[in-house]
Every structure is written in structure tokens, then in C-alpha cells.
Amino acid sequence: MYVAITGKGKSRVIQFCEQHRITKTNKKKTVVIKTIGNYQTLLKENPNIIFELKEEAKKITEEKKKNISKNTLFRFGHSLVHSLWKEIGVSKILGESLSKTLFSLVIYRLGSSYSTFLENRKTPFLNLESVSHPDFYETLLELEKKEKDLTECFNKFFEKKVKRENSLAYYYMSSYKYNSYWKVLYGFSSSDFQEVEEDLSFDMILLFDSYGIPISHQLFMKEKFSENKLKELKKILKISKFILVSTQEGKLRDKSFISPILFENLDFEIQKEILKETKWKVIEKDIKTDEVLEKDKIIDIDGNLKLYVYWAKKRAFKDYIEKNNRNGYIYIITDEETLEAQEISNIFQYTWNIEDKFKITDVDFSEKHLHGHFTLCYICLCIIRYFQYLLGSDGKAFVPMIYANKAISNPMIFMEKKGNELFLNPIHLTNSYLKLSKILGLGEFSQGMSVEKFEKNSGLKINNILL
């Protein structure tokens, strides 16, 4: 605001004015805030009137600025991962500085689409350290060196927290290509894809427990995975039995497998058994209409094979749109007699789109960088699977990954500053975040929180962002 003298001759007046920018133009318009009085009359009464009014205008402007709300929005779902980080003990292996950088990379990946090194979000994570490209590449090289130590570190943590069956593990095989020309890493569940000169091809074996939580991973760049390698892994990890989980329909193994199968590849008698209205276990019904929305059943085949059949109305509609003739059914076959229907379904779902969790774009990788990148993604998968485990009441129920991801990416804190006071208002608190925060020992969140209370309950620091 400023002091203006307007008009002509004896009609001149003193006014308080402001200039406001006209929307979508570079032009400004003058707005009269207050007319003080006749210039000549006021000047006669007080020769210092202009100076005094200028000082008053300056004071009023400063008061207005103080009273204007300064609103800032930050994500704070990473408080869940932060609460685990120290307990897992990553800094003991990497040191404080590298552990902090790795934490940032993990959050960027879990809180984004998984495909980029750094997602440019309009709403940033609260006080999350930014990572430059040189630091990103350097961190991957360090992760490559510490791959074994980090795997052991996470396994020790999960041995304390998760009810694992130590003598049994599941494994999943996937193939990847890094294209040095396009600078992109992408994966497939099988190796049936065309070779390109710029491609570096390799395979990954991911081992996980019955809750989908990773136990170990191995990359095979210059040699193919074999039964001998599997025996070596059994000795190293001290696991007596491995079960292969495959997503390739129709490719059955000799023993110890869980695999999808096509309806047309089943015997006619089995097909008839599937279509019967008997033996179905209803999973979900419409409360109002009593219509079955989801169901499954187990069919024994030849005494040594089990066929798990699942049907859902939502999937049937999706299949109809895609015209794939599956009609809402999923068929999974296994030779594991002890597995229950829900276990077969859950274990198979842990492999869905697993390749997407390791892809990345716009990167210039060497083989060592690739090893480091897979270690980073492995850590991300460990954390998100553990959150799924907790959300499912210690693995009693299967909870889709998206709920764990949203617990990290959705919660925000709306910071509103009025004068010297700062008000913190949490928004977008998903049910998954609230459940995980309670399990992990974080405090409760409410509207109009003080800085001290928010920092105590979330474990994150504000660091005087608006002060």
C-alpha cells in the first residue's frame, strides 16, 4: 500500500492506494483503499502529513503481510518407513550419511510409479533429502558392495517380526533387459522376447516366504539359472525345500510348483467339475441381493495334484471388456498337498507384475549399477511386503500392495501460518496409514496440531519450514 495525491488544483486529495495485477495480463490497476481528505487542508494543519501517512501505510502493509495465511502442503506417509529404519539397523552397515541417502531413494520409489529415479511431485515429502544424479549412481555402487550384508540385515529383522517357516521358501524367475541406447530397464516373466544389439539380458531369482516377504535375490548375467544353483542357494540359506511359483500358463514342472493353467488344457472331466455348482466356498456376497460376488474351490486331480479355481464378478466384467474368454476365472495348479486354497491364492498373487517393481527409465547403468539398483528395489519390496503383512493382521489375510503404497504416498500435512503461529492439519489419512501408524507405535493425528506434537507423533522434523 502507498500514499497517493490525486485530482487537480484545490480538489486534490490524499489517498491510500494499492496496485493489483489484472488476471492473465501484465497490466496493473490502482485500487483506492481509503481517501484521507483534502490535500491543501491537511497540509495546512500538519506540514508533516505526507511523511506520517507514508509511515502509517508501511505499518499497515506489514500488518497485512503478517496476517496473510502462508499455506504449505507436504507428504508425511514416509513416517511409517522412518519408524522402521533405525530398528532395521541400515546405518550400522552403510553409515549415517549413506543410510540417509538410501532412505530418500527408497521413499522416492515407494511413493511414486516405481519407474523413475526421482518422481517430480507437486507435493514433496516432508524434509526428505534430495538426491542428485551423481549421488544416485554412487549410492548404487555402494549398494552393490553391501548387497549381502543388507540382505542379512533385513532377514534378521524379519526373523524377529514375522512368523516364518524357516525350512520352506518360494522362488520366482523373471527375465530383464537393460537397453543402453534408450537407457531403460524392463522385465518379463519369461525370456521369449527379441534380442537387440544394445540390450544386456539377465535373469533374476527372487526367493520369498509364505507372506511374500523377500528372503534373497540373485542376478544371473553371464550364466543361466540351473538346478545346481538352486542346491547352492539351499545350502547358503539353510532352507530344505523350494517351491517354484510361475506365471507361465501351461508350463508345469516335475515337482514342487504353483502355476496357472488354461481351462482348455484341463481334462474334460475336470472342466465339468469346475462348472458344477458344488464345492464352491463363497468369499463375498452382495448384502442386499445375496448375489455371489467372489468364490473359490479346490479340485483334486489324480491324487497328487490340486487345482485351485477362483471366480469374481469384477474379474468377469473385466474379462468381458478385454474379450479374453476367461469369464472371471483363474485356475492355479500345484502338487503341494498341504497348501490350503487361500494360501495358494495369496502366494500366487505375490508374483503379479513383480517385474514392474524393478523397472526404471532414463538411467545410464553399468553391471555394478544394475546390481545396486536391484538391491534398492529388493529393499523397497521388503518394506512394502512387510506393510502388507501387518495390514493383513500378521499375514492372516491378503491385502493388495496398493493399500500399502497409498499409506506412504497419500497422507499430507497442511501447514497454515497466521502471524507467528503455525497450525498443522493432517489430511488424506488412509485407513491403511492409520492402522500401520498404530502398529508401529506412532502417535495420533488431529487438526490444529502443534509442531512439537506432530514431530513427536510422526517422528519427522519440521525444521522451521515456515518459521
Please write down the HEC assignment for all residues of 23-36: CCCCCEEEEEEEEE
| Domain boundaries along the sequence of the chain | 2-68
pLDDT score at 420: 74
Q: 252: pLDDT confidence band, cut at 50, 70 and 90?
A: low
CA separation for the pair 124, 135 (Å, rounded): 19
Q: 467: pLDDT confidence band, cut at 50, 70 and 90?
A: very low
pLDDT score at 191: 46
CA separation for the pair 347, 155 (Å, rounded): 19
Q: 444: pLDDT confidence band, cut at 50, 70 and 90?
A: very high
pLDDT exceeds 50 at position 43 = yes
Angle at 260 between CA 403 and CA 214, to 5 degrees: 45
User: Where is average pLDDT lowest: 149-153, 340-344, 351-355?
Assistant: 351-355
* Residue matched to cell numbers 520369498: 208
* Residue matched to cell numbers 469346475: 274
Average pLDDT over residues 381-387: 98
Q: 422: pLDDT confidence band, cut at 50, 70 and 90?
A: confident
Q: 71: pLDDT confidence band, cut at 50, 70 and 90?
A: low
pLDDT exceeds 90 at position 366 = yes
Helix (H, G, I), strand (E, B) or coil at 379: helix
Q: 245: pLDDT confidence band, cut at 50, 70 and 90?
A: very high
DSSP state of 467: -
pLDDT exceeds 90 at position 225 = no
* Residue matched to cell numbers 498404530: 438
Helix (H, G, I), strand (E, B) or coil at 312: strand
* Residue matched to cell numbers 510361475: 246
Beta bridge partners of 311: 295, 329
378 contacts 217 by C-beta, under 8 angstroms = yes
- Mark 32-68 as b/e (b = at least 16 C-beta within 10 Å): eeeebeebeebeeeeeebeeebeeebeeeeeeeeeee
Beta bridge partners of 188: 175
Q: How far is CA 398 from CA 350, 387, 403, in A?
A: 9, 11, 11
- Mark 245-273 as b/e (b = at least 16 C-beta within 10 Å): bbbeeeeeeeeebbbbbebeebeeebeeb
Q: 115: pLDDT confidence band, cut at 50, 70 and 90?
A: low
Q: 211: pLDDT confidence band, cut at 50, 70 and 90?
A: very high
Residues 6+ apart with CB under 8 A from 119: 108, 111, 112, 113
pLDDT score at 361: 87
Residues 6+ apart with CB under 8 A from 447: 425, 426
Burial zone of 420 (CB within 10 Å; 0-12 exposed, 13-18 middle, 19+ buried): exposed
User: Where is average pLDDT lowest: 7-21, 103-117, 225-239, 339-353?
Assistant: 103-117
Q: 250: pLDDT confidence band, cut at 50, 70 and 90?
A: low
Which amino acid is residue 97, in one-letter code?
Answer: S
pLDDT digits (tens, 9 = 90+) for 288-332: 999 999 999 999 998 789 999 999 999 999 999 999 989 999 999
Residues 6+ apart with CB under 8 A from 331: 260, 261, 262, 263, 266, 274, 307, 308, 309, 310
pLDDT exceeds 60 at position 240 = yes
Helix (H, G, I), strand (E, B) or coil at 1: coil
Q: How far is CA 373 from CA 56, 67, 138, 361, in A?
A: 61, 48, 11, 12
Average pLDDT over residues 429-445: 96
Average pLDDT over residues 366-388: 97
191 contacts 203 by C-beta, under 8 angstroms = yes
Helix (H, G, I), strand (E, B) or coil at 9: helix
pLDDT score at 62: 82
User: Where is average pLDDT lowest: 161-165, 221-225, 240-244?
Assistant: 221-225
Residues 6+ apart with CB under 8 A from 254: none
User: Where is average pLDDT lowest: 117-126, 187-196, 307-316, 440-449?
Assistant: 187-196
pLDDT digits (tens, 9 = 90+) for 176-207: 999 999 999 988 754 444 566 678 999 999 99
pTM score above 0.85: no
